[in-house]
Amino acid sequence: MEHLILRRERVFDPVLRIIHAWNALLVILLLITALTAEQLEFTWQAAALRRLHLWLGYLLFLGLVARFIWGLAGPEHARWSALWHPRTWLEALRSRRFFAASRTFGHHPLASGIYLLFYTALAMAAATGLALAAIDQGRGPLFVLLGHHMYYKPWVRTPHEWLEQITLAFLFAHMAALILHEKRHRVPIAQGMVSGYQYLKEENVKDAELD
C-alpha cells in the first residue's frame, strides 16, 4: 500500500474563515427563504419569509463588503490577487485538464476563477435584491431612486431569479468538487476553512518548488 506523505501549512486566517462562514450561512438561508416563499405564494407566511429574506440580504451585503475590504487589506492568501491566475486558466483550457491537484498552498488556482465569478454573481444578486426591496416593499437604501417604481421591476426581478439559480448550482457544484477532490487526490480539503490548515502532497509541493 502506497504511503502518502502530506505537508501541512496554516493558510487561511481567522478573519477570512469567519467571513466565509458568515457568507456561506447567509447564502443558504437566503436560498431557503426565497424558495420556500415561492412555494407558499400569496400567504402571510410567504410575506414573513420575504421580510426575513430582505434582512438576511442586508447581512449578506455587509459580509460581501467585509470580504471585499479583507481582499485588499488581509494577509497573502485572503487577497484578491491570490485568486487571479489567468495563465493557469488558459493552460487548463488548452490542455482540457480541469481537475488537477493543487501544487501550491492557498485557493486552488483553477477553482479561484470560479470563486471570482461567484463573488461577482453574489454582488449582482445583492444589488438586484436591494432594488426589488425598494420597488416591492418601499425599503432599503435604493428607495430614494426606485421606491415603488414598478416599471423597473421586470428589469431586476428576472436577473435576480437567474442569479438565485446560479447560486444554488454553485453550492451543489462546490460541495461535489470538494468531495471528488478528497477522494481522487486523497488530500483533506473541506476542513481548510474551519481549521485554517491546508494539506498538499509532498511530491506536488516539491515539483512546484522545482518549476
Q: How many domains does the chain have?
A: 1
Residue 153 included in any domain: yes
Distance from C-alpha of 42 to C-alpha of 88, rounded to nearest angstrom: 49
* pTM for this prediction: 0.85
Residue 195 included in any domain: yes
Residue range 158-167, pLDDT digits in tens: 999 999 999 9
| Of residues 149 and 85, more confidently modeled | 85
Highest mean pLDDT among 19-28, 109-118, 123-132, 169-178: 19-28
Here the CATH number for the domain that contains residue 65 is 1.20.950
Question: Tell me, what DSSP letter sits at residue 3?
Answer: P
> What is the domain range of residue 73?
6-210
Residue 23 included in any domain: yes
Q: Of 88, 77, 93, nearest to 110 (Cα)?
A: 88
Residue range 95-151, pLDDT digits in tens: 887 777 777 888 888 889 999 999 999 999 999 998 888 888 777 788 777 777 777
The CA distances from residue 65 to 68, 119, 195, 210, in Å, are 5, 11, 23, 38
Q: Of 89, 102, 121, nearest to 177 (Cα)?
A: 102
Report, as an integer, the average pLDDT of 48-56.
92
Res. 208: pLDDT tops 80 = no
Report, as an integer, the average pLDDT of 71-95.
91
Report, as an integer, the average pLDDT of 33-62.
91
Residue 204 φ/ψ, nearest 5 degrees: -70, -40
Res. 75: pLDDT tops 90 = yes
Residue 48 included in any domain: yes
Q: Count other Cβ atoms within 10 Å, centred on residue 2.
A: 5
- Please tell me the predicted confidence (pLDDT) of residue 210: 44
Distance from C-alpha of 89 to C-alpha of 53, rounded to nearest angstrom: 36
Residue 1 included in any domain: no
Residue 146 included in any domain: yes
